[in-house]
C-alpha cells in the first residue's frame, strides 16, 4: 500500500519466504538443540571418563560452528530481507512493536556466538569444569534466543490483548507462545540427536561399535518427539478456533501437512526410544540421512501449517496477508481503493487510467502476494473457465466463500475495474467459446 | 475490532534509537576491520615469504571477524529499519533480487574463507586453490559493500544505479568506508599481529594499512559531496583528523617507533575515523530526507518495561562476556 511492489516471478513470494524460513528454522533450531546436547553429553562423558564421546563432541561442535554461526545468522537476516521485499508492512510492524525483543535476542545471540567460539577454540586449554560451564552458557543463550523469537512469531497468530492495548508483554507472551516454545524445543533437541547420528557416520575413523555407542548416547534427544501429539493439541487449544479448524480438516493441504509432520515426528521419537535407546541398535549413514530428511520435511510441514492457519491474516485480526489492515479495508470499502492513494499509482490520478489499468493496480496491491498471473498459485488457470459474472461474484464474496481469503478492499467501481483486468487474463480460445464479455453460453 | 493505539509509533525516544544505531554501526565496522586485518595478513602469507605466519591464528581472527561482522551488523539493520523503514524498504524493493543476493554473498565469503584455511593445511602453505578461495572471499565482501551502498544511495536519490556507478559515486563512496576500515585493520594487526607471526614481529602490512587507509579517508573527506552538507562539518573534521592520525601512526610503525605508542595512535585513529564516517553518513541522510521526513519528530510510545528487559539482558550479557574473557585470559596464561 505505502510501498512499491516486488514481484519475484513465477515462484511466487510465499515460496521465496518459505525457502529462506525453512533453511533458517532448521539451522537455528539445530543450534539450540546441539547447544543443549553438547554440554549435557560432555558432563556425562566426564563423569564416566568416556574419551570416545569427548573426542566426538569436539568434532560435533566444529560442525555446529560451521553450520550455525554464519548460515544460521545470515538466513535469519535473510528472512528480514525477503519479508521486507514482499511484505514490508508486516516486518515494519513486527520490528517496531518488538524492537526491544529483537535487541534482547541479539544480545543473547552475541553471547551464544562468543561462548560457542570459546567452547570450540579453547577445548584443550580450559579446565574440564569451566569448559562445561562455557557450554551451558552457550546452551542457555541459544535457548533464550529461541524463547524471544518464538514470542514474536506466535504473536502473529495470537496477538491477544495487544489488539486493544498495544502492550508489548501481552503481545509477546501470548496464548500460543508457551506450547509453541515446547514444540520448538522438542524439535531442536531432535535435530541435534539426528545430526549426532549423521556426524558420527561421517567419521570414517570410528569403528562400528564406537559409532553405535555415540548414536545411542545421542538418541536420548530424539525421544521427546513422542510428545508431539499432546503438545500440538495444547497448541491448537490455545489457537483461535478458526485457525485450528483449518489445520484439522478445513483446508485439505494444511491437514495433510499437519498430519505428516505430527506422525513422522512421533514415529521417529518412538523408533529412537525402542530401537536406539532400549535395544542399542545403530543406524548407518544412509538411514541417518533418511531420518534427518524426514525430520526436515516434518519441520517444513509444521512451519507451513503455522504460516497457513493464520490466513487470511499475517497478524491475526489486525493485518491481512495482502498487507492491508482491517481498518484500511473498511475505509476502502467505504471510500474506494484509490482514495487511499496507494504508492503503485506513483502520484497519478485514478481518473487518468483505463479501468483495466486501475484493475491491474488493485491486483498488484491486493492479490499479487499470493497469486502470480502464471506460476505460483496462478490466477490465470484459476479463472480460466469462469464467466465474468462468476469473477465478480467470487471476488465480492471472497472472504465468505473461502475463509482463508481476505475481503476485497474497494467499492463497486473498484470491483468492476478488477473484474475488467482479470477478464483480460482468460485465453483467446475461451473468448471464442464464450464471447468477448464472457456472458455467452458455450457453443 | 480497531486498535486503540498507534502501531507505527516509535517504541523509544528516537534519540536513543539513533544513539544505538551509531554505536552498533561502530561495532560492526570494527569487526569488519578485524576481518580485513585477517584478509591482508593471509594475502601476505600467500604471496610473501612462506612459513612466516602462524596461519591458524590469522585464520581464527578472520573467521571470528567475519561472523562477528555479521552478528554486529544485525542491530544497525534493526535500528535503520525502525527509524527509516519506509525509505529502506522502498529502496530494497527497488533493487529486488540483487538485494537478496547479499545472503548468498555472505555465505560464499565465509565458506570460501574456511576452505582457504583447509587448502593451506592440505598443501602445507600457499597454493593456487588457497589463493582462489581467498579471492572469492574478497569478492564477496566487495559485492556486499557495493550492494549496501546501492541501497543506501537509492533511499536518498532517484538517480539510477548505473548512472551513479558511471558517475563514480559508488566507488567514491566505498573509498571512504574502505579507508576507515583498512586503517582500523592496521590497528587490529598492531594488537594481534605479534601472535600471528612466527618471528613475533608486528606485520609490516599494518603500517601500509594505516597509511593507505588514512590517505583514502582523508581524500574521501575532502572530495565527497558530503563536504557541501551544512550539518556535516564536525564529521568532516573527524574524518580528516582520523585519517591524518592514521598516516602518522603508520609512519611511526614503519620507522620502528615504540610499538605501544604506535598502537595507541593507530587505535585512536581508527576510532575517530569510524565515528566520523558514521556521523557523516547519518547527518547527511537527515539533511537529504529533511524535506520529506524527520525520524526525530515521529510519534513515540515508549515501551519502558521492554527497554528494561533489554537493558537487563545487555548487562547480564556483558557480565557473561567479561567472565568468558577472564577464563580465556587464565587459560592463555
Q: Which tens digits make up the pLDDT trace of A9-26?
A: 888 888 888 888 889 999
End residue of a domain, out of A297, A319, A341? A319
C-alpha gyration radius of chain B: 21
Residues A311 and A337 in one domain: no
What CATH number does the domain containing A280 carry?
A: 1.20.1630
Same domain for A96 and A124? Answer: yes
- Say if residue A331's pLDDT is above 90: yes
Is residue B9 in some structural domain?
Answer: no
Single pTM value for the model: 0.92
Note the maximum CA span of chain B. 73
Q: Which domain holds residue A414?
A: 322-434
Number of domains in chain B: 1
Residues of A in contact with B112 (CB under 8 A): none
Domain limits for position B150: 14-309
What burial class does residue A319 get, using C-beta atoms within 10 Å of its C-beta: 0-12 exposed, 13-18 middle, 19+ buried? buried
B121 located within any domain: yes
Interface with A, mutate which of B60, B73, B86, B100 (most A CBs under 10 A): B100
Q: Indicate whether B123 belongs to any domain.
A: yes
| H-assigned helices in A309-427 | 326-335, 355-366, 379-382, 388-396, 398-401, 412-423
| A277 shares its domain with A309 | yes
* One domain for residues A215 and A75: yes
Eight-state DSSP code of residue B197: B
Per-residue pLDDT of chain B (333 residues; tens, 9 = 90+): 445 566 778 999 999 999 999 999 999 999 999 999 999 999 999 998 878 899 999 999 999 999 999 999 999 999 999 999 888 999 999 999 999 999 999 999 999 999 999 999 999 899 999 999 999 999 999 999 999 988 998 888 877 777 877 777 777 888 899 999 999 999 999 999 999 999 999 998 999 999 999 999 999 988 876 667 778 889 999 999 999 999 999 999 999 999 999 999 999 999 999 999 999 999 989 988 888 888 888 899 999 999 999 999 999 999 999 999 999 999 887
With CB atoms and an 8 Å threshold, state whether B92 touches A113. no
Contact B82 A84 (CB under 8 A): no
Whether residue A246 lies inside any domain: the answer is: yes
Asked which of A299, A319, A339 is the last residue of a domain, the reply is: A319
Cell of A214: 555415540
Please state, in angstroms and rounded to a whole number, the distance separating the CA atoms of residues B92 and B82: 14
Evaluate whether residue A395 is within a structural domain: yes
Contacts of B97 in chain A (CB under 8 A): 8
Instruction: Say if the Cβ atoms of B60 and A121 lie within 8 Å.
Output: yes
CATH of residue A402's domain is 1.10.760
Q: Are residues A212 and A112 in the same domain?
A: yes
Of B60, B67, B74, the CB nearest to A106: B74
Is there a single domain that holds both residue A425 and residue A360? yes
Can you say how many angstroms the Cα of residue B248 is from the centroid of all Cα atoms in its chain? 22
Confidence of residue A69 (pLDDT cuts 50, 70, 90): confident
Is there a single domain that holds both residue A307 and residue A341?
no
A66 interaction partners in chain B (CB closer than 8 Å): 114
Tens digits of per-residue pLDDT, A379-437?
A: 988 888 888 999 999 999 988 888 889 999 999 999 999 999 999 988 666 666 666 55
Q: In Å, how far is A353's CA from the nearest CA of chain B?
A: 23
Q: How many interchain CB pairs under 8 A, A with B? A: 184
Nearest Cβ partner of A93 from B7, B10, B107? B7
**Does the distance separating the beta carbons of B2 and A74 come in below 8 Å?**
no
Instruction: Give DSSP secondary structure letters for A176-224.
Output: THHHHHHHHHHHHHHHHHHHHHHHHHH-TTS-HHHHHHHHHHHGGGTGG
Residue A3 lies in a domain: no
The verdict on residue B219 lying in a domain is yes
Final residue in a domain of this structure, among A289, A319, A349: A319
With a CB cutoff of 8 Å and minimum separation 6, the contacts of A307 are A18, A21
Q: Same structural domain for residues A36 and A71?
A: yes
Q: Is A371 domain-assigned?
A: yes
Based on the domain organization, do A42 and A165 belong to the same domain?
yes
pLDDT for res B269: 98
Q: Are residues A17 and A102 in the same domain?
A: yes
The pLDDT of residue B2: 47
Selected residues 126-145 of chain A with any CB under 8 Å from a CB in chain B:
126, 130, 134, 137, 141
Q: B103 contacts in A (CB within 8 Å)? A: 20, 74-75, 77-78, 81
Count of structural domains within chain A: 2
Closest-CA distance of chain A to residue B256, Å: 33
| B317 within some domain | no
Amino acid at each position: 500500500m505505502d510501498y512499491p511492489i516486488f514481484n519475484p516471478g513465477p515462484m511466487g513470494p510465499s515460496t521465496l519466504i518459505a525457502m529462506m524460513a525453512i533453511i533458517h528454522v532448521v539451522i537455528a533450531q539445530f543450534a539450540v538443540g546441539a547447544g543443549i546436547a553438547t554440554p549435557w553429553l560432555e558432563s556425562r562423558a566426564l563423569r564416566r571418563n568416556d574419551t570416545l564421546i569427548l573426542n566426538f563432541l569436539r568434532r560435533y561442535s566444529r560442525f555446529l560452528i560451521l553450520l550455525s554461526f554464519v548460515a544460521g545468522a545470515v538466513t535469519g537476516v535473510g528472512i528480514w530481507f525477503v519479508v521486507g521485499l514482499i511484505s514490508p508492512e508486516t516486518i515494519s510492524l513486527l520490528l517496531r512493536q518488538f524492537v526491544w525483543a529483537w535487541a534482547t535476542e541479539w544480545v543473547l545471540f552475541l553471547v551464544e556466538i562468543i561462548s560457542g567460539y570459546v567452547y570450540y577454540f579453547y577445548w584443550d586449554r580450559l579446565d574440564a569444569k569451566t569448559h562445561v560451564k562455557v557450554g551451558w552458557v552457550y546452551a542457555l543463550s541459544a535457548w533464550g534466543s529461541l524463547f524471544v523469537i518464538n514470542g514474536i512469531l506466535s504473536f502473529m497468530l495470537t496477538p491477544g490483548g495487544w489488539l486493544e492495548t498495544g502492550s508489548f508483554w501481552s503481545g509477546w507472551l501470548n496464548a500460543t507462545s508457551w506450547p509453541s516454545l515446547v514444540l520448538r524445543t522438542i524439535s531442536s533437541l531432535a535435530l541435534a540427536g539426528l545430526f549426532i547420528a549423521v556426524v558420527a557416520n561421517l567419521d570414517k575413523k570410528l569403528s562400528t561399535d564406537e559409532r553405535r555407542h555415540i548414536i545411542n548416547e545421542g538418541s536420548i534427544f530424539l525421544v521427546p518427539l513422542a510428545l508431539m501429539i499432546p503438545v500440538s493439541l495444547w497448541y491448537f487449544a490455545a489457537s483461535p478456533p478458526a485457525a485450528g479448524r483449518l489445520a484439522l480438516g478445513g483446508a485439505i493441504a494444511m491437514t495433510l501437512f499437519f498430519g505428516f509432520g505430527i506422525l513422522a515426528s512421533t514415529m521417529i521419537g518412538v523408533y529412537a526410544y525402542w530401537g536406539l535407546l532400549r535395544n542399542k541398535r545403530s543406524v548407518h549413514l544412509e538411514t541417518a540421512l533418511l531420518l534427518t530428511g524426514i525430520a526436515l520435511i516434518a519441520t517444513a510441514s509444521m512451519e507451513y501449517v503455522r504460516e497457513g492457519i493464520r490466513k487470511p491474516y499475517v497478524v491475526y485480526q489486525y493485518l491481512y496477508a495482502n498487507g492491508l489492515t482491517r481498518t484500511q479495508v473498511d475505509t476502502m470499502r467505504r471510500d474506494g481503493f484509490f482514495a487511499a492513494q496507494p504508492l503503485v499509482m506513483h502520484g497519478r490520478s485514478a481518473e487518468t487510467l483505463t479501468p483495466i489499468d486501475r484493475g491491474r493496480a488493485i491486483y498488484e496491491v491486493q492479490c499479487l502476494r499470493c497469486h502470480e498471473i502464471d506460476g505460483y498459485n496462478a490466477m490465470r488457470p484459476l479463472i480460466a473457465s469462469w464467466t465474468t459474472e462468476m469473477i465478480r461474484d467470487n471476488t465480492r464474496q471472497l472472504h465468505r466463500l473461502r475463509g482463508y481469503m481476505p475481503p476485497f478492499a474497494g467499492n463497486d467501481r473498484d470491483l468492476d475495474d478488477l473484474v475488467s483486468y482479470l477478464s483480460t487474463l482468460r485465453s483467446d480460445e475461451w473468448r471464442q467459446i464464450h464471447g468477448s464479455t464472457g456472458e455467452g453460453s458455450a457453443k | 475490532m480497531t486498535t486503540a493505539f498507534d502501531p507505527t509509533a516509535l517504541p523509544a525516544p528516537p534519540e536513543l534509537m539513533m544513539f544505538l544505531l551509531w554505536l552498533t554501526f561502530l561495532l560492526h565496522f570494527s569487526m569488519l576491520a578485524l576481518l580485513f586485518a585477517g584478509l591482508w595478513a593471509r594475502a601476505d602469507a600467500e604471496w610473501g615469504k612462506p612459513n612466516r605466519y602462524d596461519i591458524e591464528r590469522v585464520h581464527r581472527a578472520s573467521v571470528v571477524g567475519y561472523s562477528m561482522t555479521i552478528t554486529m551488523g544485525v542491530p544497525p539493520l534493526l535500528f535503520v529499519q525502525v527509524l527509516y523503514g519506509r525509505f529502506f524498504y522502498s529502496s530494497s524493493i527497488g533493487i529486488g533480487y540483487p538485494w537478496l543476493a547479499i545472503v548468498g554473498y555472505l555465505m560464499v565469503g565465509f565458506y570460501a574463507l574456511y576452505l582457504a584455511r583447509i587448502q593451506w593445511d592440505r598443501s602445507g602453505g600457499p597454493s593456487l586453490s588457497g589463493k582462489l578461495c581467498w579471492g572469492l572471499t574478497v569478492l564477496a565482501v566487495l559485492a556486499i559493500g557495493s550492494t549496501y551502498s546501492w541501497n543506501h544511495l537509492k533511499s536518498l536519490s532517484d538517480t539510477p544505479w548505473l548512472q551513479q556507478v558511471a558517475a563514480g559515486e559508488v566507488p567514491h563512496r566505498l573509498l571512504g568506508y574502505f579507508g576507515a576500515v583498512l586503517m582500523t585493520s592496521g590497528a587490529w594487526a598492531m594488537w594481534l599481529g605479534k601472535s600471528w607471526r612466527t618471528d613475533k614481529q608486528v606485520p609490516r602490512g599494518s603500517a601500509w594499512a594505516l597509511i593507505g587507509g588514512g590517505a583514502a579517508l582523508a581524500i574521501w573527506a575532502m572530495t565527497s559531496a558530503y563536504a557541501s552538507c551544512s550539518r556535516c562539518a564536525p564529521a568532516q573534521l573527524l574524518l580528516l583528523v582520523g585519517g591524518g592520525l592514521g598516516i602518522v601512526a603508520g609512519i611511526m610503525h614503519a620507522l620502528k617507533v615504540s610499538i605501544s605508542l604506535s598502537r595507541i595512535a593507530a587505535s585512536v585513529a581508527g576510532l575517530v575515523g569510524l565515528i566520523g564516517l558514521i556521523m557523516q553518513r547519518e547527518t547527511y541522510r537527515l539533511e537529504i530526507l529533511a524535506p520529506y521526513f524527520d525520524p526525530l519528530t515521529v510519534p513515540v510510545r515508549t515501551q519502558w518495561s521492554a527497554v528494561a528487559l533489554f537493558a537487563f539482558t545487555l548487562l547480564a550479557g556483558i557480565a557473561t562476556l567479561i567472565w568468558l574473557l577472564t577464563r580465556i585470559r587464565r587459560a592463555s596464561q
